[in-house]
Amino acid sequence: MSSDAGMLVVLAGPSGAGKTTLARRLVEEVPGFEFSVSTTTRPPRGEERDGTDYFFVSDDRFDELVRLGYFLEWAGVHGRRYGTSRDWVCERLAAGRSVVLDIDVVGARNVRRAIPGAVLVFVAPPSLEVLEGRLRGRGTESGDLLEGRIDAAASEMRWAGAFDYLIVNSDLGAAAARLSAIVDAESARISACGYPRPAGFSPLIRGSHREEWRGRRVLIATGPTREYIDEVRFISNRSSGVMGCELASAFRAAGAAVTLLLGPCRAVPPRAVALERFTDSRDLAGLLGRLARSHDILAMPAAVADFRPSRRVTGKMPRGGGFQLQLEEVEDVSASVSGLCPLLSFSLEFGDRVQAISRARRKMEAKGAFASFVNAGGIEGSGMDADANSGVLLLEGGGAVDIPQGSKRFVAESIVSSLPVPPGRGA
């Protein structure tokens, strides 16, 4: 498991915009990139080779691969089907390699949901006239198929706003340079790197346990739950999910294999982690019950709602006349799975510091956690729904580590460096 997060770049846009040419230029010019070879049911064009340009398969074989869960994404395009191998992509990203996909617009949106941190680049032609000239010039389509591709281009252009970047490919050299600049910018994202530790400074991040996490399996749940009243309204809280995503980045940078369970929130998951999503407390409990046992630690910054409606109304309740809302208490989700996996709990406490830490330690013991991070509530610009944090990491045996205020990534790195591998999980 590499401590560097591989980058997944997805190029999509109308057929004839130049996606494949740009993808191959990127692989040739930027070290560490590989071109993902798609599987398709269409026949080869010109000098295309099986296993190099595409994996060409029959419709029956494609159906079998779909049933086996082989594809990260697949879609029907112009009467043919195309798909990308999930395992091939994930194995390379985990090894610190970077991958470029050349796929259609529907497939790109599917990848965005499945792979955290995927960089989506929309490649557009400078005009419909140029696009039509390119399609006719390559001589691989004619008649209805050619007209279908031209008609599809207009509908595909409607989805450009769902992408991260736009490249208008009027000049190949300029377009390739723009793509290279995008990759340069994305490679400098702090979420994909280790935290800076410049020489000569007093230690910014204290603790000596970071290297112990290399090769470990870490499960993190973050974000709020939504306990629905009806199909529109719900009970929730202000959790942004950022702390858990930064914790995932920090463990990943330490060389751990991270699975991130993400609730409905604004946080952007980091690259090269396995991602599962939940909505309400029952979803989260189900995921934890299925996954916790196979991990070395469960970190729980997730903010599970304390109450939920005793009954969920179908549809949307009309306004007027008022209504009564009967609530029931939500079970302690983290405590219910603490016996399956060592637990790092999180506790938001207000008031006197000594009393707050005492309350948090009692909660830690009641949950069966081996460590707990205590947020101090009521600090302006810090904690829930903020980009900064601070607190105290409580350890078994009465130990405690003060972590000063800083970015949530700094706090996450401090937790990872100060947290020993749980007892019974090896050195």
> Could you give all domains of the chain from N- to C-terminal order, each with its CATH number?
8-188 (3.40.50.300), 208-418 (3.40.50.10300)
Instruction: Report residue 337's pLDDT band, with 50, 70 and 90 as the boundaries.
Output: confident
Mean pLDDT of 154-166: 91
Spatial separation of the C-alpha atoms in residues 267 and 165, rounded to whole Å: 19
Q: Is 123 helix (H, G, I), strand (E, B) or coil?
A: strand
pLDDT higher than 50, residue 427? no
- The pTM assigned to this predicted structure is 0.84
Tell me if 284 sits within 8 A of 302, measured CB to CB.
yes
Tell me, what's the pLDDT at 134? 75
What value does the mean pLDDT of the chain take? 88
The DSSP line for 333-353 is HHHHHTTTS-EEEEEEE-S-H
Q: Taking 80 as the threshold, does the pLDDT of residue 143 lie above it?
A: no
> Is residue 33's pLDDT more than 90?
yes
pLDDT for the residue 252: 93
Asked whether residue 149 carries a pLDDT value surpassing 80, the answer given is no
Q: How far apart are the C-alpha atoms of 249 and 269, rounded to whole Å? A: 8
Structure confidence at residue 294 (pLDDT)? 95
Residues 318-346, mean pLDDT to the nearest whole number: 88
Mean pLDDT value across residues 326-336? 90
pLDDT digits (tens, 9 = 90+) for 188-211: 888 777 777 776 666 678 888 999
* Closest to 4 measured CA to CA, from 260, 194, 247, 195: 194
Contact by Cβ (8 Å): 421, 212: yes
Task: Label the pairing between strands 227-228 and 234-235.
Answer: antiparallel
Q: List, in sequence order, the alpha helices (H) in 95-142.
A: 105-114, 128-138
Mean pLDDT, residues 417-422: 94
Tell me the mean pLDDT in the region 407-420: 94
pLDDT beyond 90 at 51: no
What percent of the chain has pLDDT above 90? 56
C-alpha span between 285 and 300 (Å, rounded): 12
Average pLDDT over residues 214-240: 95
The three-point CA angle 377-401-209 to 5° equals: 125
Q: Are 332 and 367 in contact (CB under 8 A)?
A: yes
Give me the pLDDT at residue 93, please.
87
User: 126 pLDDT exceeds 80?
Assistant: yes
- Across 67-76, 125-134, 277-286, 352-361, least confident range: 125-134
- Whole-Å CA distances, 119 to 182, 185, 298: 9, 11, 28
Element (H, E) at 73: strand 71-77
Neighbours of 423 (CB within 10 A): 9
